[in-house]
Amino acid sequence: MDLNCDLGEGFGAWRMGDDTALLGIVTSASVACGFHAGDPGTMRRACETAAAHGVAVGAHVGYRDLAGFGRRPMRVPAGELADEITYQIAALAGFARLAGTRVRYVKPHGALYNTVAVDAEQAEALAHAVHRYDPRLPVVGLAGSDGLRRAAERGLPVVAEAFADRAYAPDGTLAPRSQPGAVLHEAADIVERALTMVREGRVAAVDGTTVDLRADTVCVHGDTPGAVSIAAALRAGLLAGGIELRAFTDVES
């Protein structure tokens, strides 16, 4: 099982999360590409540290929304969105190459992630951008989502993702962050949920019903308070549970 984290989300004088510590824990790192967060220096440092730790680098692409951290829904024309996604992948790829590694996958962020899971036009824009840049690049998306299916139909490798630190709605989408309890903070609860996801392919939704999901990677957010301790507990819990951790890209590289 792959353990991934969204990171590289500082900007200018503002720092968010401890990227160095997180990159010593996870197997894949989705690095912000400057649109929802991140800047050239942050991107370079994240790639260098990831390479030093043997962590797979992914392009964490989002809407052009620094003020809203990419979590505000937007309606970007498909052609424009595809160009902006291409721009972000290419920007990170340059720093990855300088660090002696490469961008190994693409994962949308925040509002874009949630939108492409259910919106055909935006999902097609993402798939088009990735395919024309490199049809070998996997797309990471919400397990069981229509957006992931559309990427697969385009011929792209797809990676189903589950979230250890987020609550699920009964339809398998993520509960809105505005909803109480949408983000989990207790490490023990997060570890227990992750083990159930990985071993049994299911998770409890906010209404108590069961959501079936088959995941190739489990995500923990780097911007959550206590992210490093949560990620460390999650890694330790998965390993103690007999789950081998390795980047999903190790299989297809």
Check residue 251 and give its pLDDT. Answer: 53
Mean pLDDT of 53-68: 97
- Using a pLDDT cut of 70, give the percent of the chain over it: 99
Candidates 223, 241, 165; CA nearest to 17 is 223
The pLDDT value given to residue 20: 96
At residue 150, does pLDDT exceed 90?
yes
Go through the chain and tell me how many residues it has: 253
For residue 172 the two structure tokens come to 């398998």
Structure tokens at 212: 């079936």
Residue 236 has pLDDT above 50, yes or no: yes
* Host domain of residue 90: 2-252
Q: What is the DSSP string of 78-106?
A: HHHHHHHHHHHHHHHHHHHHHTT--EEEE
195 pLDDT above the threshold of 70: yes
Number of domains in the chain: 1
For residues 231-243, average pLDDT: 96
- pLDDT value at position 224? 84
The pLDDT, as a whole number, for residue 250 is 78
pLDDT exceeds 90 at position 193 = yes
Q: Which residue has the higher pLDDT, 71 or 17?
A: 71
Is residue 108 pLDDT above 80, yes or no?
A: yes
Alpha carbon distance 49, 52 (integer Å): 5
Give 204's DSSP letter: E
At residue 249's C-alpha, the angle toward residues 24 and 213, to 5°, is: 95
Residue 253 has pLDDT above 60, yes or no: no
Enclosing H/E stretch for 121: helix 120-133
Mean pLDDT of the chain: 95
Query: Other C-beta atoms within 10 Å of 204: how many?
Result: 13
Residue 252 in this model has a pLDDT that exceeds 80: no
Residue 222: the pLDDT is 86
What CATH code is carried by the domain that includes residue 127? 3.20.20.370
Angle at 70 between CA 67 and CA 150, to 5 degrees: 160
